[in-house]
Structure 1
Amino acid sequence: MTTAPPQKPHSGLPPKPRSAVVRDALGVGAAVGLSGFAFGVTSAGAGMTLAQTCVLSLLVFTGASQFALVGALGVGGAPLPAAAGALLLGVRNAFYGLRLSQVLGLPAAVRPLAAHWVIDETSAVALAQPDRRLTRLGFTVTGVTLYAGWNVTTLLGALGAAALGDPAAWGLDVAGPAVFLALLLPMIRGRSAAAPSARAGATPAPGQDGEGTATARPARAALLRHEVAVAALAVVLALACVPFLPAGVPVLVAVLAAPAVLAVAALRSRAAARRERSAAARAEEA
């Protein structure tokens, strides 16, 4: 039986030595792991006990959901809406997992353990690698470093909440965004390096041609417009609900932005199809 070749998450990226992948993964894990200080301080300030704070980091281990939960509880939100909002923020990790399960190709026995480390940072590092071997390496090193660092600094932050004061004053609130900007750079370089060959008339991939690429552009533009519309409507819905609804509920209302935009897009698509059919019928009659 032949073995399928390893999948390449980003074959257009330049090759990397193992040491560079380990260095990048350690950097991401250490930098973002420091944000555990901010969570420990925030959780303690919201009235969570030391044990509750540490167990939350050990078992949940997804920063945005943890901050959403303790933030909603800290301002008097009901536990159920607070937990529901945190759960919705964590759903994105399931979509990361669908992609990572293909490119990592881990044995079935290991997947439940690896799933606990499927978060923004491990996914970004893994998918930035050019082959499966380096993808596994980046995912593992980032996961170990970040999990250990996040939990240690959560403990220290909860213990020293009074001494640390405002987490933003330490610059911990910008660690995550700064890391993501750094992770985007290799992908941008890889795409820009591949662009000149495409413009120079490189052979299209199998199943693609110039006409297919041209017809794909409007579809990509429409998708981008839908994404922007969903984001904008979600912000409007959340801000509009904040003065009237308990903490944790506005984020649940904001979820309605996606089906609303999709419904409007479907209606517009049907209306356009009807206009095209009417125009075609009139042309035949003429």
Structure 2
Amino acid sequence: MLTGIAAICLAVAMIGVSYGATAVTSGLPGWLPVLMSVAVVAGGSEFVFIGILTAGGGLVAAVLAGLLVNARHLPYGLSVPDVVGTGWRRLLGTHVMNDESVAMALAQPDRDRRRAAYWLCGLAVFAAWPLGAAIGAVLGSVVPDPNAFGLDAVFPAVLFSLVIPALREPLTRTAALAGAAVAAATAPFLGAGLPVLLALTAVLLVVRRAGADTPAAPGDPTAAAGDPAGITATATATAGTA
């Protein structure tokens, strides 16, 4: 588990460097990506926000687009309610919720390990992402094209490695393939983050249809359908790597 979290943090920090450098080379102040990396902690929506601002879009449009991209966190929250905690812990737990912490938690065999994986990964990413953004903001004036290093390919590879074990389950695999196909097909035509939202729709349709077609086990109406929230979250994370 710790090795996996370390690899995730390295990948997240590298993407953070790209994010910070991109923001600065686009003409934004260096403090903005660092502040957002702490307050938002959602790389996809932050990239969209920065992209819209630098393209001349308004602040309201940038905020709404970022919120739209983060809509994928809804199934994430439904899939890990038992590990987030209650009270003030829930506030912190939802703030550090991200693709990596949820994928790491869902890959664990029992509740205790899920909780440990979620919090360790979530807090580690919460430290690595702002650190990477700060380094990128400092180096932004030195690296004119941060995307030339191919850092954007690191994160999808790490995230995909986390969800591979869950893809052995037929329904999860089918939902993930459907979502990935939709995301890959629409990516050339839509802005960043939107293909994953369309993929989420396809994933939900697959999970819902499978639940309707599979008879429930006696005395347990949810047993046959498995864990719809967990399947949806895993499939959505997979689609995000497409």
Does TM-score exceed 0.5, indicating one fold?
Answer: yes
Shift of 1:176: 1.0
Aligned residue in 2 for 1:35: 15
Aligned residue in 2 for 1:106: 85
Consecutive unaligned residues of structure 1, counting only runs of 5 or more, are 1-20, 196-216, 240-247, 263-286
Measure the CA separation in 2 of the matches of 1:105 and 1:163. Answer: 40
Alignment of 1:79-118 (within 5 A): 79-102=59-82, 104=83, 106-118=85-97
Measure the CA separation in 2 of the matches of 1:164 and 1:35. Answer: 14
Identity of aligned residues (%): 29
Task: Kindly provide the CA deviation profile for residues 139-175 of structure 1, in whole angstroms up to 9, marking residues without a partner as x.
Answer: 1221122111111111111111021232222231111
2:35 alignment partner AA: V
Shift of 1:237: 6.6
Please state if 1:61 is matched with 2:41. yes
The correspondence for 1:120, drawn from 76, 89, 99, is 99
Aligned residue in 2 for 1:137: 116
Distance of aligned partners of 1:105 and 1:227 in 2 relative to their CA distance in 1, 3 Å threshold: closer
Task: Kindly provide the CA deviation profile for residues 59-79 of structure 1, in whole angstroms up to 9, marking residues without a partner as x.
Answer: 011000000010111121222
Aligned residue in 2 for 1:78: 58
**SS in structure 2 opposite 1:110?**
helix
Measure the CA separation in 1 of the matches of 2:111 and 2:85. Answer: 10
Measure the CA separation in 2 of the matches of 1:232 and 1:105. Answer: 31
Contact 1:126 1:135 in 2 (8 A): yes
Task: Kindly provide the CA deviation profile for residues 202-228 of structure 1, in whole angstroms up to 9, marking residues without a partner as x.
Answer: xxxxxxxxxxxxxxx9xx98x789858
Aligned residue in 1 for 2:29: 49
Aligned residue in 2 for 1:4: none
The alignment covers a number of residue pairs equal to: 200
1:51 alignment partner AA: W
Alignment of 1:157-172 (within 5 A): 157-172=136-151
Measure the CA separation in 1 of the matches of 2:128 and 2:93. Answer: 17
Measure the CA separation in 1 of the matches of 2:177 and 2:4. Answer: 33
Measure the CA separation in 1 of the matches of 2:95 and 2:138. Answer: 25
Distance of aligned partners of 1:178 and 1:105 in 2 relative to their CA distance in 1, 3 Å threshold: closer
Aligned residue in 1 for 2:235: none
Contact 1:230 1:258 in 2 (8 A): no
Could you say which structure has the larger radius of gyration? 1
Measure the CA separation in 2 of the matches of 1:142 and 1:159. Answer: 26
Contact 1:33 1:147 in 2 (8 A): no
